[in-house]
Amino acid sequence: MQKYKRMELIEEAQDHTPIKEAAATATPEPCNTLPFVVMEALQTGKENAINAQDLCTYLGFNSARDLQHEIARERKEGAVILSTCQDGGGYFLPENDKEVRQFIRTLENRAKNTYAALKSARSFLSSSMEVREVENITKVGTDNGD
């Protein structure tokens, strides 16, 4: 069952456009698609999540940051790689729609929190700039040689 689901996800992620046959004199186009190394290493189901450190070791990544970049690349190309922070956290493939919905809800909540942090930081900069403008106007008004 796990192999079947994994193959299903791989097939969905692949581009299904027909490959053009090259003329005998044409040079073949370079293949820019990289394999889904992280997705291939993962198991299905939240209960089988693999933490970042173990994945780094298993796949030979130098750091969790490198692993995250690879996961982002694979997701961008269509891989459905889920993650959780619960029970030690880790990455896994979806076993059912419930796990996907839970992952989506987590990302949406994280996005809302990130937006709130951006909003307050922007507000701070805006008010800080206003204070500096008032200080500059006051300074100009008092620096007229009186």
Do 32 and 75 sit in the same domain of this protein?
A: yes
Question: Which parts of the chain have pLDDT scores under 50?
Answer: 1-7, 9-31
pLDDT of the residue at 83:
97
Q: Which residue reads 């299903």 in tokens?
A: 8
What does the pLDDT read at residue 73?
97
Compute the distance between CA of residue 121 and CA of residue 123 in angstroms, rounded to an integer.
Answer: 5
Asked whether residue 114 falls in the same domain as residue 146, the answer is yes
Residues 51 and 87 in one domain: yes
Cα–Cα dist 21/72, whole Å: 31
Q: Say how many domains are in the chain.
A: 2
Taking the C-alpha atoms of residue 125 and residue 78, their distance in angstroms, rounded to an integer, is 37
Rounded Cα gap, residues 21 and 100, in angstroms: 38
18 and 90 together in one domain: yes
Q: From CA 49, how far away is CA 63, in angstroms rounded? A: 18
Looking at the fold, whether 75 and 28 belong to one and the same domain comes out as: yes
Same domain, 139 and 67: no
Q: Are residues 110 and 51 in the same domain?
A: no
Element (H, E) at 83: strand 82-84
Q: Using an 8 Å Cβ cutoff, are 96 and 5 in contact?
A: no
Place of tokens 């992620």: 13
Range of the domain at 103: 96-146
In angstroms, the CA 120 to CA 51 distance is 33
Asked if 82 and 109 sit in the same domain, the reply is: no
pLDDT at 34: 77
Phi, psi angles (nearest 5°) of residue 50? -115, 125
